[in-house]
Amino acid sequence: MYVPDAVIRPRLEILAKAPVPTRVGLFEMMVFHWGGHDTASGLSPDHVALIMGDVRGKSSVLVRVHSECLTSEVFGSLKCDCREQLEAAQAEIARRGQGVLIYLRQEGRGIGLPNKIRAYDLQSRGHDTVDANRLLGLPDDARDYGGAAAVLEHLGVASIALMTNNPLKVQAMRDLGLEVERAPAVVEANPFSAGYLEAKRLRMGHSLPPFSISRTAPAGEPLRAPVDEG
């Protein structure tokens, strides 16, 4: 039986690019497709890369590979640190004048928005982020970083400093052929996200300092992680 080549080797498609001014500086925004299709719409999602400076042939380029979080980034949910991670990465790239922020449309660690909200409901009943996914019969993390690796190859980046606390993301990018060093991406917690961050630290192996979830901060005040002595 004939199998189209694109099924065997996903193809990177650059759909559009243009300079985009942001609050922290001017980036080139590149919209791209990668690989398969969304089962609901039949369309491949539009992913985004924000590029600042000349990265071709450069080593230790600061890179953030960020997965979409509609709940926090658009609606201001306090249940996670995604918005803070995104904004901190964009600001740090702008401060250095060079780097790449890759925004992948894989909501809820790849399980999709409806399942993410179902998991939120289970979390409201006392389950942590890992057990909520498992109770729904879903993997702890279903993300695919192939598109990010393809974009970095397209940009000609020699090696990257990956902004992440997730050792599995570092290994996944190495497995895709990139030379990777890790750059920490610790942000402040709030009373609603501290438990989530603790679950990621204790159950998913993220490189995070412990967060106290026993006290309640005044409204709007973040919980600060103690200094990591190790």
Query: Which position among 125, 141, 182, 215 bears the catalytic label?
Result: 141
Give the residue from 80, 61, 58 showing the smallest Cα distance to 70.
80
A 10 A CB-CB count for 145 gives 20
The yes-or-no answer on residue 143 being catalytic is yes
In the sheet that 160-163 helps form, which strands lie side by side, from edge to edge? 12-22, 25-34, 47-52, 99-104, 61-67, 160-163, 180-183
The yes-or-no answer on residue 141 being catalytic is yes
Query: Which position among 5, 143, 144, 175 bears the catalytic label?
Result: 143
The catalytic residue positions are 141, 143
